[in-house]
Amino acid sequence: MKNNTFGKIFKELRLEYGLTQRELGGKLGYCNQTISFWESGQREPDLDALVDIAEFFDVPVGVLLGLKN
């Protein structure tokens, strides 16, 4: 995820759902700083978090990784 594809897609989904970083963090069980780090590409979610995010947004993990539309 070096080109931050995940972060861009993750942020787009968050905005489509009309959520702030704090709101999304609360729903996923992470602090808003973690959400910010993921969106900016400073950090990447682990596999468990990636699955949680995919389930929350009801998208395949591949979509989050930029592999599928």
Residue 67 pLDDT greater than 70, yes or no = yes
Note whether 6 and 67 are within 8 A (CB).
no
Per-residue tokens: 13: 């989904």
Q: Is 62 exposed, middle or buried (0-12, 13-18, 19+ CB in 10 A)?
A: exposed
* Interval 16-38: pLDDT, tens: 999 999 999 999 999 999 999 99
What confidence tier does 54 reach under pLDDT thresholds 50, 70, 90? very high
* pTM for the whole structure: 0.91
